[in-house]
């Protein structure tokens, strides 16, 4: 998959794509249906996705609590798995935010990227002040020569599939409900960083990753499926992970610490993708380290049982 970040200077072969437009946070089933419509609208055109970095919500409210389900690199990995050939990841800045709906359609979609067809969700808004509507896009398409498809919102029996509903499920400790809407396990992806080595001292060496900037799932212990994406230990593993602040050791900054079953090796600097399968228990404090170790043994035994048939 090719990633293109400048709509003003692109090669001729990067024009003419059929593109789904949106933020695609989580790349859930609704997003996947929009991408499939783009694939089918112009079967002979390259399949593309246009998205924005940072997320517009981060740009306009930088001090708001973290809300993203995935970082940009994790989103790119998921889109590539769906067969997207061209990812137009446009920098969301003052210049882009200030474009009127017509200027966005003309300068970005038509003159800049030369898109042949675009697909957006029924709730899509664009242009300065989010003033552009899907019907505006249809009108601009007629005038400027690109096709437009408006995708209906995807619904389950109990809810609209949305990033908001997925965040709620994760906050409630319901990763399987989130996975039902995502079409895949919710994954936290990032580089393994140095920790305080407490897990190693306790007999449970963990791979530590930051969750800064991400919507935090319910704090506690999870059964997880882990993909090591690079390095000498690349592959898939089962494990147990703790998300939170480590109250037993008076931690303050939330992170995720993952213990890989039946693994021996150094993962520092590697990129991990940790899929949350089941919530096992909340964070706890213990009267002694022996009590903590006993509970960790029980957590791992339960996680092994769950992951034997996830």
- Just list the catalytic residues: 257
- Residue 34 CA, chain-centre distance (Å), reads 16
How far is it between the farthest Cα atoms of the chain? 72
Alpha carbon distances (Å) from 163 to 56, 61, 67, 178: 15, 18, 9, 9
Report how far residue 35's alpha carbon sits from residue 20's, in angstroms, rounded to the nearest whole number. 5
Burial per residue of 97-112, b for 16 or more beta-carbon CB atoms within 10 angstroms, e otherwise: eebebeebbbbbbbeb
Helix 175-182 crosses helix 163-171 at what angle (to 10 degrees)? 160
Cis geometry, peptide bond prior to residue 54 (ω within 30 degrees of 0): yes
């Amino acid at each position: 998959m090719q990633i293109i970040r400048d709509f003003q200077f692109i090669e001729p072969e990067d024009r003419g794509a059929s593109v789904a437009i949106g933020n695609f946070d989580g790349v859930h089933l609704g997003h996947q249906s929009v991408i499939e419509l783009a694939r089918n609208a112009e079967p002979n055109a390259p399949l593309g996705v246009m998205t924005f970095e940072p997320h517009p919500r981060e740009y306009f409210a930088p001090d708001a609590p973290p809300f993203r389900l995935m970082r940009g690199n994790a989103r790119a990995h998921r889109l590539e798995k769906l067969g997207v050939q061209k990812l137009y990841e446009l920098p969301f800045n003052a210049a882009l935010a200030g474009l009127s709906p017509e200027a966005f359609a003309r300068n970005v979609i038509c003159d800049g990227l030369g898109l042949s067809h675009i697909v957006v969700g029924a709730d899509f808004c664009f242009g300065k002040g989010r003033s552009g509507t899907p019907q505006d896009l249809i009108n601009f398409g007629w005038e400027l020569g690109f096709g437009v498809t408006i995708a209906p919102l995807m619904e389950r029996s109990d809810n609209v599939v949305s990033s908001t509903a997925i965040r709620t499920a994760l906050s409630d400790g319901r990763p399987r409900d989130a996975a039902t809407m995502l079409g895949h396990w919710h994954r936290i992806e990032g580089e393994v960083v140095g920790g305080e080595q407490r897990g190693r001292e306790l007999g449970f060496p963990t791979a530590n990753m930051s969750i800064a900037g991400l919507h935090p799932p319910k704090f506690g212990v999870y059964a997880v499926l882990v993909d090591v994406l690079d390095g000498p230990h690349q592959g898939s593993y089962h494990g147990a992970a703790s998300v939170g602040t480590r109250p037993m050791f008076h931690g303050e900054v939330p992170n995720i610490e993952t213990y890989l079953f039946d693994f021996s090796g150094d993962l520092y600097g590697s990129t991990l993708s940790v899929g949350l399968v089941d919530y096992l228990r909340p964070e706890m404090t213990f009267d002694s380290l022996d009590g903590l170790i006993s509970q960790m043994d029980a957590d791992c035994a339960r996680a092994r049982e769950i992951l034997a048939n996830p």
